[in-house]
Amino acid sequence: MPSVHRPSEIKALSGARAFPPLILVLYHFCEGHGYRGVDQAVCHASAWANFFTCGKWFDLAVGRGYLWVEFFFALSGFILVHVYGSRAWEFWRGKAYVPFIKARLARLYPIHLFTLVSMLYLMWVLNRLSYVGGYASIYHQPYPPMNTWPSFIANLFLVQAWNIFPYLTWNGASWFVSVEFLLCLLFPVYVLLSRGGVWRGLALIGGGFSALVFIAQTSGYGLDVTFHNGIFRGMAGFAVGVGMAMLYRAANEAGADKIPGWVHSAVQGVLLLFFFWATYRTGWSHSPNDMWFVAALYLLIFALAFDRGFLARALAAKVPMKLGEWSYAIYMGQTFWLQFVRYFEQRIYPPGETMILGLRFSDVMWWLEPFLLVLVCVGWGALLAIFIEHPTNGWLRRKFAQRKLQRA
């Protein structure tokens, strides 16, 4: 590839990646273990005055955890066009496509492969323990993780979420990576479309958003579609991100850098209010109302892209930036611990009625367990990022560069 100027990092968006994986860990845990509200049937229909006593502050936010995947699909479209948009024709002339795919695989595949093999190892260990102990493994329960050899092979080739299987497999979270891989293969189409002006950008946003509305209206689960039609969900969200990148480019060309910082702060403040309204005032999740929350996420991505304003400054701080750096590893590493905690609950935990410091064990763990799980997933994600993701990404990129030089 010829040497070209690489756009500078948008720190606010890098820091914004810190929080979605944490919410997703809580969402996946609560989907399998129940939400924290005292009585969901009562609380979801109760008055706003019971916001804290019924756990609404937690449940309504975490119950929409799956929608943060929309954030990542749109962010991918935005960032990839931000970085590669000026080189659209190189993809169609055969100069940029293969190096682009190699670069994306160097970023996505090492963690995917490691977590896939770790799930295989975890299943083997827990099954062996069950044979020795004479009890049923979590993988032999009526609703076990669906781990089969055909799905393992599909995971190796990153096609497991291409409407092939009627269930999530192995590292269920990797359905997102499977769709991302498809989007990388389709990227020349998106990047060619991104060479248009404002009206084409608005058309891409409108088309992508309309497709998501259709999915939310017809799926029966809102936007919570993964192994079935997750590819269309990803393509639509990616299109929105591409369109926003086009509007961002046009805004900068029109002199957006001259807008005072206080204007960015004011806009971000309004969008935060809209975000909280969409979180807490649009009913329970898994409904067509998901689109209010998604709209808030998209608007926040666009507002933060200018890297100015109070929220952008907060997200560019050291802690969010570091968590954002680990975010992919945290997301991909969570399934190992989500399944391992089921073994703890099955074989290690004492009976729920056991008294600890005057409290029942089940009452203590009701709130403690999900937050401990988040801490474990952050620590595990940090280790995966430091010792697997970043070194292998750098090594693969160097190997690809060396081969290119040798061919030259």
pLDDT by residue (tens digit) across 379-393? 999 999 999 999 999
- Contact (Cβ atoms closer than 8 angstroms) between residue 260 and residue 274: no
Cα separation of 362 and 213, whole Å?
Answer: 40
What integer pLDDT is reported at residue 32 of this predicted model?
A: 87
User: Residues 175-204: what's their mean pLDDT?
Assistant: 95
Confidence of residue 75 (pLDDT cuts 50, 70, 90): very high
Mean pLDDT computed over every residue of the chain: 90
Side chain identity at residue 105, one-letter code: L
* More confident: 47 or 171: 171
User: Residues 238-245: what's their mean pLDDT?
Assistant: 97
What integer pLDDT is reported at residue 163 of this predicted model?
A: 94
DSSP letters spanning 275-329: HHHHHHSS-SSSSTTHHHHHHHHHHHHHHHTT--SHHHHHHTSHHHHHHHHHHHH
Q: How much is the pTM?
A: 0.92
Percent of the chain predicted with pLDDT > 70: 92
Which two three-digit tokens encode residue 223? 């936007």
CA torsion 329-330-332-338 (nearest 10°) is: 150
Three-point CA angle 309, 294, 367, nearest 5°:
90
Which two three-digit tokens encode residue 308? 């100015």
What integer pLDDT is reported at residue 53 of this predicted model?
A: 57
What integer pLDDT is reported at residue 48 of this predicted model?
A: 53
What integer pLDDT is reported at residue 37 of this predicted model?
A: 77
When computed from its CA atoms, the radius of gyration of the chain, rounded to whole angstroms, is 22
Confidence of residue 39 (pLDDT cuts 50, 70, 90): very low
Q: Enumerate the domain spans of the chain.
A: 11-407
Residue identified by tokens 């809580």 is 26
DSSP run (H or E) holding 356 = strand 355-356
Confidence of residue 36 (pLDDT cuts 50, 70, 90): confident
Bridge partners of 360? 355
What integer pLDDT is reported at residue 43 of this predicted model?
A: 52
Three-point CA angle 140, 143, 145, nearest 5°:
75
Supply the DSSP symbol for 223: B
State residue 26 phi and psi, 5-degree precision. Answer: -65, -40
In tens, the pLDDT along 254-302 reads 998 899 999 999 999 999 999 999 999 998 899 999 999 999 999 999 9
Q: Which of 186-190, 305-309, 358-362 has the lowest mean pLDDT?
A: 358-362
In tens, the pLDDT along 95-153 reads 889 999 999 999 999 999 999 999 999 999 999 999 998 888 888 877 666 799 999 99
User: Residues 88-101: what's their mean pLDDT?
Assistant: 86
User: Residues 333-352: what's their mean pLDDT?
Assistant: 90
237 pLDDT more than 80: yes
366 pLDDT more than 90: no
DSSP run (H or E) holding 62 = helix 56-62
2 pLDDT more than 50: no
User: Residues 202-217: what's their mean pLDDT?
Assistant: 97
